[in-house]
Amino acid sequence: MQATEPLVTSGAEGAASGAPTVKRRVTAMVYEFFLLFAVEMLAVLVYILLTGNRQEPLFQHGLKLYLFLVTGLYFTWCWRDSGHTLAMKTWRIKVVQAGHARLPWRTAIVRYLLAWGWFAPALVVCAVFGLHAKGEIAVALTIGIVAWALTAFLDKDRQFLHDRLAGTRLVLLPKIKR
């Protein structure tokens, strides 16, 4: 999407005022981490209650798949419903796609899968090289996250790579006058 294309926003939010800064987006992501942690803890509780806290490998892998799906549902539903999660709303950030009043389900799902680029390469590196210590995993994740964040500086509109590939963009919403 070119920077000159009109953005579709709801009347209550007013017109979008360009792309939020990378710092603002990363700060919203940190806030999102804490909110998502709460959502996933509730999901783990439900999973444990349903499975009787079984520890066999099948159930351990099932928990990972379940959390992947719960996380995906959380993000895609929020992006589809209002264009933002609670953290994005707090920081006045909205995800949009040209020509759509609401993000289509397919686009939201593609964006969610592409957003795993923040973490997946580092997790693959950890698996391939047998990195299991918390410090090693933390370093790999930090390098991967910083590398992904730098993709915004390579984009003319300062959008992250997953937004560019999904055909979406993040916009900064104006402050609501009270």
**Residue with the two structure tokens 């790999």:** 140
Q: Is residue 151 part of a domain?
A: yes
Q: Which of 76, 122, 80, 130 is nearest to 101 (CA)?
A: 80
In degrees and rounded to multiples of 5, residue 169 shows phi and psi of -150, 150
Q: Is residue 12 part of a domain?
A: no
Segment 75-88, tens digit of pLDDT: 999 999 999 999 99
Q: Is residue 44 part of a domain?
A: yes
Q: Is residue 66 part of a domain?
A: yes
Q: Is residue 125 part of a domain?
A: yes
* 66 has pLDDT over 90: yes
Q: Is residue 5 part of a domain?
A: no
Would you state the pLDDT for residue 50? 96
State the average pLDDT over residues 63-77.
97
R_g of the chain, CA atoms, integer Å: 18
Would you state the pLDDT for residue 15? 56
CB of 64 within 8 A of CB of 47?
no
Q: Is residue 178 part of a domain?
A: no
Alpha-carbon distance values, 82 to 13, 78, 138 (Å): 11, 6, 33
Q: CA–CA separation, 76 vs 105, rounded Å?
A: 7
Q: Which of 3, 23, 168, 15 is nearest to 91 (CA)?
A: 23
* 5 has pLDDT over 70: no
Segment 80-135, tens digit of pLDDT: 999 999 999 999 999 999 999 999 999 999 999 999 999 999 999 999 999 999 99
DSSP 8: P
DSSP 118: G
pTM (2 d.p.) = 0.85
Number of domains in the chain: 1
Domain, as residue range, for 45: 22-172
Would you state the pLDDT for residue 19? 87
Q: CA–CA separation, 155 vs 96, rounded Å?
A: 17
Would you state the pLDDT for residue 127? 94
**Token pair belonging to 122:** 């580092």
* 153 has pLDDT over 50: yes
* 54 has pLDDT over 70: yes
* Alpha helices for 95-133 (secondary structure H): 105-115, 120-129
Provide the terminal-to-terminal Cα distance of the chain, rounded to the nearest Å.
32
